[in-house]
Amino acid sequence: MAHRSFYPFAKSLNEQMQTLKNRMQAHLPCVDRVSFAKFHPKQGLLKSFAESEFDTWCLAHHEAPLRKLHHLSISADNAIPRVVNDLNDIRHCPRIKTLLKQGYHSSVAIPCYDRQTFTGFVFLNAIQPNAFRAEALNGLKPYFDMVQFAVESEDHVVNAIELLAEKVQNLLPSYSPEVYSHSKRMGMYAQLIAARLADRHHLSDEMVEQIGMFARYHALSNIKLPTDLICNRRCKNAEQEAFLSEHIEQCVETADNIVERIGNPVHQSVTIFQQIMAYQYENLDGSGYPYGLSHCDIPISAQIVATANVFDVMTTHHPYHQAWSIPYALLELEKRVYQGLLSNECVNALRDHQAYLKQIIHKYPEHYAAMGLM
């Protein structure tokens, strides 16, 4: 089932944007920044996704409802580029203020489509005002197509992993409505943490999205771990150790099989997917499994998923464990931090957004009947 409509080897999208910006400058030297904002139709949101400038993290992790962006909405509806000759003319917008602060003074947004369906914008920015003319933009069309292809290639890889992981998860003997809800909550918790840690760990928009996506499929094994093992993060005996090791081994093997089925692309998203599977039970103090890694040797994606998983187990009901309140679960997570098991910054990201955590739990509640608790 190898899928070859994407690059078999690809740099990160940000690196690809930088390369394409350099190539555009040979034709139009005033191009100082290239970015892509992806449209999410279910939410109606336009979200930043890829960026050519690695030192402008303040421009990443931005989203806004497209319907509230009047001129961009018109551009998307009519397939006409939106050109702003001087950003000072619309400086009332917070996003524009940030661009101006970074030194950019003109902008053009190129709407993109897949089979006539709007997918997002390629944005160009220039330091000088009045930088973009229609005839010059026409000469850059091949590069706009390359940007769109790079984003589509990214989506093909991630979506292929998601599709196969979803199928595997649905076929597991333990699959239930609660597993479905758990996976949804995990994705939202992990994406929340990743977004809050993004600047410190230089996580691009695409990486934040991928961590949230793959967190949903962190347990692709037919071995269901006991809740006390997940919460306490340490094995009590050799039997538990063998149990956990087999669970991890199955998760890793499943992930490898999925990657093989999509053609073994050398791709950042594949790395993140495999890191989550392999290292999510490592502890910061080196007492985890299967390799005994510690601190910065544990990928941040795995640290995020570990924290999200413990939090979700603590805040849901189980046969021998009643759900804890969010504040109490956060106190317990702090104990795991003190014990050297979990990341303090990951736990802090959850603590700082307790209202949002309540929204997630309300949106994807437990299925008590399926758990035999009703």
pLDDT per position as a tens digit, 84-118: 999 999 888 888 999 999 999 999 999 999 889 99
Question: Quick check: 8 pLDDT over 70?
Answer: no
Question: Quick check: 48 pLDDT over 50?
Answer: yes
User: What is the pLDDT averaged over residues 165-182?
Assistant: 93
- Closest to 193 (Cα-Cα) out of 207, 183, 181: 207
- Residue 2's pLDDT is 33
Identify the CATH assignment for 172-371 out of 3.20.170.30, 1.10.3210.10, 1.10.3430.10, 3.40.50.10490. 1.10.3210.10
At 365 the three-state DSSP class reads coil
Topology of 13-153 in CATH?
Beta-Lactamase (3.30.450)
- Residue 4's pLDDT is 34
Choose the weakest-confidence range: 51-55, 109-113, 337-341, 347-351: 51-55
**CATH 1.10.3210.10 residue window(s) in the chain:** 172-371
- Residue 253's pLDDT is 96
Average pLDDT value for the chain: 90
Question: Quick check: 339 pLDDT over 90?
Answer: yes
Provide the 10 A C-beta neighbour count for residue 40: 15
- Residue 13's pLDDT is 87
At 285 the three-state DSSP class reads strand
Question: How far is residue 2 from each of residues 214, 259, 262, 295, measured CA to CA in Å?
Answer: 20, 9, 4, 36
Question: Quick check: 7 pLDDT over 60?
Answer: no
- Residue 346's pLDDT is 98
pLDDT category at 317 given cuts 50, 70, 90 is confident
User: What is the pLDDT averaged over residues 186-202?
Assistant: 95
d(CA 10, CA 24): 19
- Residue 369's pLDDT is 37
**CATH 3.30.450.40 residue window(s) in the chain:** 13-153
